[in-house]
């Protein structure tokens, strides 16, 4: 669906992020959900730093993106927004109560069980890569990720989707697993690799990703290039 500045739904997104974060910022999850349910939306683009200003904090108290506005309703947190979209519009939710509950179950599993150790890995290898505590933490972080991937792979088995058909739960699980797509952490799980490919092959995902990428037209905040150079020099792992 086209981005429409006059659409009744407005989300927020950044105008710039580091290269390693492009395609990962969580407004992508909301864009994808809106594409799946075929709803136009507008985007309020924030320069880096703008998310910490009072006007945005009135919508998102933690100074992050995305937010969702529709009429008198304002939401923050990508999981809550995706769930609202799935409830509000047909396409991402089974009609039977049990199917809806299973979709919610996997949405929460993605955010509360699978994502935390994956984000710990990102913190240790990217955001705090130059700190002395990062390298010693990596083995335990990787062990936790491996445990979760073992469990997720075993549950998925030969199925296409965790919930029988593609739902909001799978949208969120694909979004979370994409954070480690490519590295050796995911390679031992061919069914999860195929699962991610199925998610990425959905036209709604492709459109959402293209639209997010096209919005990155801004410049890095002062001091970012120096910080990046320090991280590279101290670890050699950032690209």
Q: pLDDT digit string (tens) for 111-133? A: 999 999 999 988 888 888 788 88
Same domain, 29 and 74: yes
pLDDT band at residue 234 using 50, 70 and 90 as cut-offs: very low
Q: Which tokens belong to 181?
A: 């797509």
pLDDT at 233 over 70: no
Mean pLDDT, residues 29-50 taken together: 96
Q: pTM here?
A: 0.91
Furthest CA-CA distance within the chain:
54
- So what's the pLDDT on residue 224? 59
Same domain, 153 and 181: yes
Range of the domain at 110: 97-202
Whole-angstrom Cα distance, residue 23 to residue 210? 9
Whole-angstrom Cα distance, residue 237 to residue 8? 43
Contacts of 116 (CB under 8 A, 6+ apart): none
Q: Name beta bridge partners: 68.
A: 11, 75
Q: Name beta bridge partners: 73.
A: 70
Same domain, 101 and 196: yes
Same domain, 44 and 102: no
pLDDT at 84 over 60: yes
Alpha helices in 24-178 (DSSP H): 27-36, 54-57, 78-88, 97-108, 115-122, 134-156, 168-177
């Amino acid at each position: 669906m086209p981005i429409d500045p006059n659409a009744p739904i407005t989300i927020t997104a950044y105008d710039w992020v580091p290269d390693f974060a492009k395609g990962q910022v969580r407004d992508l999850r909301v864009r994808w959900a809106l594409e799946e349910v075929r709803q136009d939306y507008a985007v309020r683009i924030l320069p880096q730093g703008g998310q910490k200003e009072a006007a945005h904090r009135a919508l998102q108290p933690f100074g992050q993106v995305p937010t969702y506005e529709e009429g008198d309703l304002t939401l923050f947190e990508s999981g809550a927004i995706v769930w609202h979209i799935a409830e509000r519009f047909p396409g991402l939710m089974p009609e039977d109560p049990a199917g809806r509950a299973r979709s919610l179950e996997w949405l929460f599993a993605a955010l509360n069980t699978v994502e935390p150790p994956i984000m710990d890995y990102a913190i240790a290898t990217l955001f705090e890569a130059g700190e002395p505590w990062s390298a010693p933490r990596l083995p335990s972080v990787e062990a936790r990720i491996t445990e979760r991937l073992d469990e997720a792979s075993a549950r998925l088995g030969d199925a296409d989707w965790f919930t029988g058909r593609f739902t909001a739960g799978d949208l969120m699980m694909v979004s979370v697993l994409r954070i480690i797509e490519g590295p050796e952490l995911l390679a031992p799980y061919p069914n999860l690799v195929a699962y991610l490919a199925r998610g990425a092959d959905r036209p709604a995902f492709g459109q959402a990703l293209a639209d997010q990428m096209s919005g990155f037209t801004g410049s890095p905040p002062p001091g970012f290039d120096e910080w990046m150079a320090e991280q590279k020099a101290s670890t050699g792992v950032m690209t």
